[in-house]
Amino acid sequence: MSTTENAPLLQVDNLVVEYPSKRFRAKPFRALTDITISIGRGETLGLVGESGSGKTTLGRAVLGLAPVTGGRILFEGQDISHATRRQRRTLSRDLQVVFQDPYTSLNPALEIGDILAEPLGVQGMEQSKAKTRVKELLDQVGLPSDALHRLPREFSGGQRQRVAIARALALSPKLIVCDEPVSALDLSTQARVLDLFLQIQQDTGVSYLFVSHDLDVVRHISHRVAVMYHGEIVEQGPAELITRDPEHPYTQRLLLASPVPDPDRQEQRRADRHRLLEIQRQQHEQADALA
Amino acid sequence: MTESLESSPLTPVPGTTGQTGTVVRSTVLKRLFKNPLGILAIVILLAISLLAIFADVLAPFEENFANISKTLAAPDAVNILGTDSSGRDVWSRLLFGARLTLLSALLCAAVAIAIGLPAGLIAGYYAGKFEAVSNWVVSILMSLPGLIVLLTIRAAFGPSVWIAMIAFGVLISPSYFRLTRSAVQSVRNELYVDAARVSGLSDPRIITRHIFSVVRAPIIIQTAAIAGVAIAIQSGLEFLGLGDPAKATWGVMLSEGFKNVYLTPTLLFWPAFAMALTIGALVLLGNAIRDALEDGEKIKHRRKPAVKGTTTAPAAAAKRSARKTPAAVDAGTEHHLVKVTNLGVGYPQADGSLKKVVDDVSFHVDRGEILGIVGESGSGKSQTAFSILGLLPDTARIVAGSIQFDGNYTVAPGEELVSQERLSRLRGRRISYIPQEPMSNLDPAFTIGYQLVTPMVRVLGISKAEATKRAMKLLSDVGITYPDRTFKAYPHEVSGGMAQRVLIAGAISCEPDLIIADEPTTALDVTVQADVLDLIRDLQRSLGVGVILVTHNFGVVADLCDRVVVMQNGRLVEEGAVRDILRQPKELYTQTLLASMLEGKTPMSMLVSSQKEPVS
Amino acid sequence: MIRFILKRLGSGLVVLFAVSVLTFFLLYISSGSIARNILGDQATPEQLAVKEAELGLDQPIVTRYFKWLTDALGGNLGASWFSSEPVANALATRIPVTMTMVFSAMILIAIVATLIGVAAAVKRGWVDRVVQIGAIIGDSIPGFVIGIILVTVLAIQLGLFPATSTISPGEPPSAWVLSLTLPVIALLINGVTGGAQQIRSAVIKQLERDYVRTLRSRGISEREVLFKHVLRSSAPAGLTVLSLQLIGMLGGVVIIEQIFALPGMGPLAVAATSQSDQPVVMGVVMYTVAVVILVNLVVDLLNGWLNPKVRAS
């Protein structure tokens, strides 16, 4: 047991994910190449990248929703790369998920109470106990207790995302994979949901693997940040460093591409961006000339 | 401040905005019983079933009892529907026929469901080899002409109704298979199914709990249709004389009637009527269930919506004035490129009320100016933009105010609809549009070149060759490296960023005075967004065109806009120069929005003091 | 393109093979009493044995099947066990009658259903309601019952059309048209109502698509948006229904021909199957399945032509 105490909560070593091609004998599609990350207890690792960079696939691989073709995923020192459904059931007490789209991550036909009780029921919790727990959860995510017998469509996007967070919290997990949990939300709602994530971490000491395309969001919520590009991690380190003074050319471009809400500072940023692109272009040409 | 449930800016879900938590939930069954046609169908089917079940008691005669002395008799007190050519009682035979017909339809549907449903569930959920094999079997079954096969089956197994119906059930099972499979496929990758997997739910539990509920209703609708087809097929076989001659069925009665058509055509009427009534009730039931499943609160199409606050007189006057040239705009406002005055847009609801999505909004745009309309979802920003374009959904009504473009009304005061006649002369030529989602805004069936060239040919009246030349130039102007390759490509062959450049090229192709851009960079990656913003800025400067930029992103506003309008719940909150709004917002709402921005905040600090989701 | 066609033809042949095996073995079940059926009750066991040997019924089923298959591949479909008429001849005289009806009904369905469906989708309001009600009525009455009603009312009571066939070589074309009018109407009504509903919902769905709004914003006229873009995108849905309806019609036409006493494939199929006349049944089944496979191929090709994305894959 002592070894698992010191080991990180989640350890991903040289992970490779490949999807078999639909076409006969065609090469499989490689979604992730040689991914190595780790998350400690109570820590948030922010995962940033653009669409198709593989950041969502990494989260899904940890959850057992994407095929692991190479490397290992260790949770509390235990290899879960190819966990069976039975092992997953045990694992689900410690490892949970909040998805991007609050409209499709809740079954429209089920009442909120039933949705929240689902993970409890899988673990064999008694109904009366589960009921108490569900009420606790609603309170924890700031939803009224009369939400129990209502359907998802009666709630706004932000409220639904709170339901999804409550479902993830139901079994008091140690790690929650958050896949773009605020990108479908309006600005002011996003702020409140981010506050909720931070509050929950303060209260429970849960760890997050927080996937987002938005550097500002990732900077705000993460202790450490990993940047993904074309299925690889190009850079990772402390959030402040990576999101303010990145080394990798792609992260530099990403940072300067995001506009700031002030015309004059944005003009400055735009000029900086054009300068950066010009420098990178010249470097690229020099590299080509050398080769 | 509420978030609305709107999924798309142009399809407001009625009765949701601002009513979160008060929506009355009605089940499908309840809605079904509210539909008079649904009730009628259920009553008819129940009545026919009862008649069939109690045929022994209700029928005055045995099904084959023949009174030879009383053939082809007209209805009387004993034989209420008369007798056939063998002197058999038509009413009694109709009842016994109903029993056989309904049972055979049930048998057929049961067999088809027993095969198609599980196969469809497995193929849809697990895919793989099972799906490949079933698809192959299905393609064979579906290329068999049913009746011919049934004739062959009859040759092999003899004239049994039950064997024929079992065989037909097998033949028609692909319809359940395909229905189930596609329903399962559509939910298999839903996030809530993923969430259930993460929770460790077993596959059978996932299927019964999350997937079966999706399939249930379509199966019932399908069964209504299949039962109708089964009745038709079964009767058809009997009509051909291929059934069991000892059994009374509607098909046999039809055949019997047809033989005596010159003598007593009414013999034909009763079985045909019974058949049409039964199948018709099944069709109605299917339709009613489908309607009940679709949102019960759907807006009804009304020719004359009862709009609050708009009496009939001005509406009629508006119709009259729409035919003539509209009134002149207020003096001193002609120089504005666009002027929106007290605009109200609403959707008439089924209950006669009006849901306002834009309320009392006024602003203007001048030539060469970029105006930003900022707001969250449900703020009415897109609805405002589309009323200027005249591209609101059919159900939308202008309930107040006016819109003028370049000194002429496009919506004069008192008009209820945007005049398509006036706007069709402006759209494409002087007002153009850049949409949000690049991929869905190109027709997948036509090349990019075609979609650029045709508007130029139609609007500018230039030749195809000249339009092609201009399209190439436009494509290179919007920063596409190989214009000729993109010109020949179909939309699915280019990336999202490229498609958005194509749409921008289309928007500027006819040198408009005003471009309406609806969240033009929201669907793009941040790095692509920066490039597209640069492109829009450069083009706007070189063309001197006025732009209305609809967005939720203050960064985009800061990057492009001269002036800003902030909207919330359909109303205009605040208007001003971009620096004033972003640096010293006067209104609380604007302040709250800006405070929600993450840029410049201390990481891991709380952004909002209140933790609860506000209730409006 | 050519590879696609060859691939589809190949899989079509496999389907044809599978169907031939199935049908052949089904017919085997009832082939025990064939010789007696042909020769009658008076036949002696010796005569029966001779007849069975003559028809090859004394051989194992697999041998018989391969004999049939090799003959068929060589273009010889055999002759009827009862009338001795060569199957190819029997089909050749009957196919024109049946296929004239089926394909004219198909073409009419395509045209009429499209017109009605588009009108209902675009005009909505009362046009839509009339179409919807018409569809319910059309769906409620099986095609052959419509046929019976048409004969009774228009032909027998009012005498506007011939009640039975006047098709024979000497007749003028106008008599042909007149005698085929009612059967074709009976055949197409279900197809029109079903097809119109499909086209209607497809057009409504397409009209709500984003690109339609963008086309309008570019100054493209409503007519061009509808007929060039929306109709083209709605066509695959219509084509799929049409191909399913053709399969249904190939069965439905059997009853229609019976009602109108037309010398098509229907009476042949009914007679052959009730006698278990194996060569004729095999001929009829193979022919109809081949028609279905070809029509499905044409539909797939049309869909590919209409949708470049399908073409690519």
ipTM of the complex: 0.90
Q: What is the dihedral of CA A117, A120, A122, A128, to 10 degrees?
A: -80
| A90 pLDDT higher than 70 | yes
Mean per-residue pLDDT for C90-112?
A: 93
Q: Is B527 in contact with A50 (CB distance < 8 Å)? A: yes
Percent of residues, chain C, with pLDDT higher than 70: 96
Angle CA B486–B490–B496, to nearest 5: 75
- List chain B residues with CB under 8 Å of C141: 272, 275-276, 279-280
Residue B373 CA to residue B389 CA, distance in Å, equals 15
Residues of chain B where predicted confidence (pLDDT) is lower than 50: 1-25, 296-323, 610-616
- List chain C residues with CB under 8 Å of B459: 218-219
Mutate to test the interface with B, among A110, A187, A256 (most CBs of B within 10 A): A187
What is the model's pLDDT at position B615? 42
- C263 — phi, psi (to 5°)? -80, 55
How far apart, in Å, do the first and last CA atoms of chain B sit?
Answer: 6
Mean per-residue pLDDT for A164-168?
A: 94
What is the model's pLDDT at position C312? 62
| A182 pLDDT higher than 70 | yes
Within an 8 Å CB–CB cutoff, is residue A276 touching chain B?
Answer: no
Q: Is B545 in contact with B512 (CB distance < 8 Å)? A: yes
Helix (H, G, I), strand (E, B) or coil at A78: strand
What is the model's pLDDT at position B20? 33
| C252 pLDDT higher than 60 | yes
Tell me if A89 and B530 make a contact (CB, 8 A cut-off): no
Neighbours of A103 (CB within 10 A): 16
What is the model's pLDDT at position C107? 94
- List chain C residues with CB under 8 Å of B442: 211, 214
- Is residue B200 classed exposed, middle or buried when 0-12, 13-18 and 19+ CB atoms within 10 A define those classes? buried
Of the listed ranges B471-475, C49-53, C259-263, the one predicted with least confidence:
C49-53
- Residue A18 β-bridge partners: A30
Q: What residue in A sits closest to B212 (Cα-Cα)?
A: A109
- List chain B residues with CB under 8 Å of A86: 200
Mutate to test the interface with B, among C128, C137, C140 (most CBs of B within 10 A): C140
Q: What kind and span of H or E run contains A35? A: strand A29-39
The candidate with the shortest Cα–Cα distance to B184, out of B228, B229, B144, B215, is B215
How far apart, in Å, do the first and last CA atoms of chain C sit?
Answer: 11
What residues contact residue C200 under an 8 Å CB cut-off, 6+ apart? C116, C117, C118, C120, C121, C128, C131
Within an 8 Å CB–CB cutoff, is residue C201 touching chain B?
Answer: no
- List chain B residues with CB under 8 Å of C19: 140, 143-144
Mean per-residue pLDDT for A191-195?
A: 92
Tell me if C30 and B155 make a contact (CB, 8 A cut-off): yes
Tell me if B20 and A156 make a contact (CB, 8 A cut-off): yes
Residue C19 CA to residue C30 CA, distance in Å, equals 18
Measure C75 CA to nearest chain B CA, in Å: 22
Q: What residue in C sits closest to B259 (Cα-Cα)?
A: C259
Range 169-198 of C in CB contact (< 8 A) with B: none
The candidate with the shortest Cα–Cα distance to C99, out of C246, C271, C276, C270, is C246
Tell me if B445 and C306 make a contact (CB, 8 A cut-off): yes
What residues contact residue B408 under an 8 Å CB cut-off, 6+ apart? B326, B329, B422
Helix (H, G, I), strand (E, B) or coil at B493: helix
Nearest-CB residue to B152 (from C144, C229, C273) = C273
Measure A132 CA to nearest chain B CA, in Å: 19
Q: What is the dihedral of CA C267, C28, C23, C43, to 10 degrees?
A: -20
Residue that the structure tokens 């998350």 belong to: A39
Helix (H, G, I), strand (E, B) or coil at B126: helix
Tell me if C220 and B149 make a contact (CB, 8 A cut-off): no
Tell me if C308 and B445 make a contact (CB, 8 A cut-off): yes
Q: What is the per-residue pLDDT across A9-30, written as a single tens digit (0 to 9) for each?
A: 999 999 999 988 766 667 888 9
Range 6-45 of A in CB contact (< 8 A) with B: none
Tell me if C273 and B154 make a contact (CB, 8 A cut-off): yes
Q: What residue in B sits closest to C25 (Cα-Cα)?
A: B156
What is the model's pLDDT at position C82? 87
Tell me if B262 and C156 make a contact (CB, 8 A cut-off): yes
Nearest-CB residue to C211 (from B275, B429, B440) = B440
Nearest-CB residue to B527 (from A60, A85, A253) = A253
Helix (H, G, I), strand (E, B) or coil at B121: helix
Residue A224 CA to residue B74 CA, distance in Å, equals 93
Q: What residue in A sits closest to B581 (Cα-Cα)?
A: A262
- List chain B residues with CB under 8 Å of C259: 258
Asked whether the CA dihedral A233, A235, A241, A245 is positive or negative, the reply is negative
Residue C150 CA to residue C199 CA, distance in Å, equals 27
Mean per-residue pLDDT for A187-214?
A: 94
Within an 8 Å CB–CB cutoff, is residue A96 touching chain B?
Answer: yes
| C167 pLDDT higher than 50 | yes
Within an 8 Å CB–CB cutoff, is residue C223 touching chain B?
Answer: no
Which tokens in the block code for residue C219? 């100054």
Neighbours of B287 (CB within 10 A): 21
- List chain A residues with CB under 8 Å of B377: 157, 186
Mutate to test the interface with A, among B1, B27, B188, B192 (most CBs of A within 10 A): B192
Nearest-CB residue to B611 (from A64, A146, A199) = A199
Neighbours of B516 (CB within 10 A): 28
Residue that the structure tokens 């055999």 belong to: C78
Helix (H, G, I), strand (E, B) or coil at B507: helix
Question: How, if at all, do strands A95-98 and A232-238 pair?
Answer: unpaired
Residue B245 CA to residue B238 CA, distance in Å, equals 9
Residue B91 CA to residue B77 CA, distance in Å, equals 12
Tell me if B558 and A263 make a contact (CB, 8 A cut-off): yes
Q: What is the per-residue pLDDT across C269-301, written as a single tens digit (0 to 9) for each?
A: 999 988 888 899 999 999 999 999 999 889 888
Q: What is the per-residue pLDDT across B317-341, written as a single tens digit (0 to 9) for each?
A: 444 444 456 677 887 788 999 999 9
Residue C252 CA to residue C105 CA, distance in Å, equals 12
What is the model's pLDDT at position B409? 92
Residue B120 CA to residue A26 CA, distance in Å, equals 28
Which tokens in the block code for residue B376? 């969250």
Q: What kind and span of H or E run contains B550? A: strand B546-551
- B80 — phi, psi (to 5°)? -65, -25
More confident residue, C16 or B614: C16
- List chain C residues with CB under 8 Å of B506: 214, 218
Neighbours of C45 (CB within 10 A): 9
Q: What kind and span of H or E run contains B340? A: strand B338-348
Helix (H, G, I), strand (E, B) or coil at B458: helix
- List chain B residues with CB under 8 Å of C149: 268, 272
Q: Is B374 in contact with B518 (CB distance < 8 Å)? A: no
Q: Is B358 in contact with B387 (CB distance < 8 Å)? A: yes
Mean per-residue pLDDT for C190-218?
A: 93
Q: What is the per-residue pLDDT across B443-487, written as a single tens digit (0 to 9) for each?
A: 999 999 999 999 999 999 999 999 999 999 999 999 999 999 999
Question: How, if at all, do strands A29-39 and A207-212 pair?
Answer: unpaired
Q: Is B346 in contact with B357 (CB distance < 8 Å)? A: yes
Residue A46 CA to residue A201 CA, distance in Å, equals 14
- Residue A237 β-bridge partners: A225
Measure B19 CA to nearest chain A CA, in Å: 9
Residue A266 CA to residue A258 CA, distance in Å, equals 9
Which tokens in the block code for residue A35? 């991914």
Which tokens in the block code for residue C230? 């929306």
What is the model's pLDDT at position A85? 84
- Confidence class of residue A6 from pLDDT cuts 50, 70 and 90? low
Measure B612 CA to nearest chain C CA, in Å: 36
Residue contacts between B and C (CB atoms, under 8 Å)? 212
Provide the 8-state DSSP code for B25: P
Helix (H, G, I), strand (E, B) or coil at B445: coil
Tell me if B195 and A167 make a contact (CB, 8 A cut-off): yes
Helix (H, G, I), strand (E, B) or coil at B185: helix
The candidate with the shortest Cα–Cα distance to B484, out of B497, B473, B493, is B473
Residue B592 CA to residue B566 CA, distance in Å, equals 12
Nearest-CB residue to B268 (from C30, C148, C216) = C148
Q: Which amino acid is at A107?
A: N
The candidate with the shortest Cα–Cα distance to B395, out of B343, B354, B361, is B354
Which tokens in the block code for residue B281? 């009730």
